[in-house]
Amino acid sequence: MATSSTSPKPPPRPAPGRPKDLEKGSAILDAARRLFTAHGYDGASMDQIAAEAGVSKLTVYSHFGDKETLFAEVVKSFCEQQLPASLFESMPELPLRERLMGVARAFFAMISSPEAVAGHRILCSPRMADSQLPQRFWQAGPQRVQDAFAGMLERRVARGELQIADIPRAASQFFTLLKGEPHARMMFGCCDLHRRDIERHLEATVDLFLRAYAPR
């Protein structure tokens, strides 16, 4: 009796393109961050970014649409790497001052990095006065960080550790205080901050914030 043999079906092929697309997007963001930092916004062309990332210019545009969107995505990606969402988790087991110091150190390390200093200088240039780029930068970076920190404060207020009537304003005040004079001097390129001085500045800022919003 003859038996019919059927060849096994080939394994399903993975969906085409997606891992490769993710890799290309990441390569483009990395290349753009390096070139924006080294040459500024105007000095970094989409052709240069494509060449640096090892992709075509068409690929850059298909991923990010235009140069402003790419810059905003670079800011967002950088902030998410330096200040991940986990940094703003409540962690009720840790004392409040310790949590605030952790956020303060991570934030100051980010704003004092070459990428952040270069980005700030780009946005302060006269050419940006009539551009949408500063607003897109704000939404992609500082606004996200402040919103996440406000959520952390809200949870600490609910635990009775802080008394804050306007939490978004308090979050804004915290990061403005952390920048302080040291950040302004960095922008002017006229200071070389020592780690001990930075730590004292951060501790003084956190202590001032805690005194301002301690439960009455």
Can you give the residue ranges of every domain in the chain? 18-65, 68-212
Distance (Å, whole) CA 25 – CA 65: 12
Please tell me the CATH code under which domain 18-65 is placed: 1.10.10.60
Note the pLDDT tens digit of each residue in 132-182: 888 888 888 889 999 999 999 999 999 999 999 999 999 999 999 999 988
Residues 6 or more apart from 100 whose CB is under 8 A from it? 174, 206, 209, 210
Q: Under CATH, to which class is 68-212 assigned? A: mainly alpha
pTM: 0.79
Mind listing the pLDDT tens digit for each residue in 104-131?
999 999 998 888 888 888 887 777 777 8
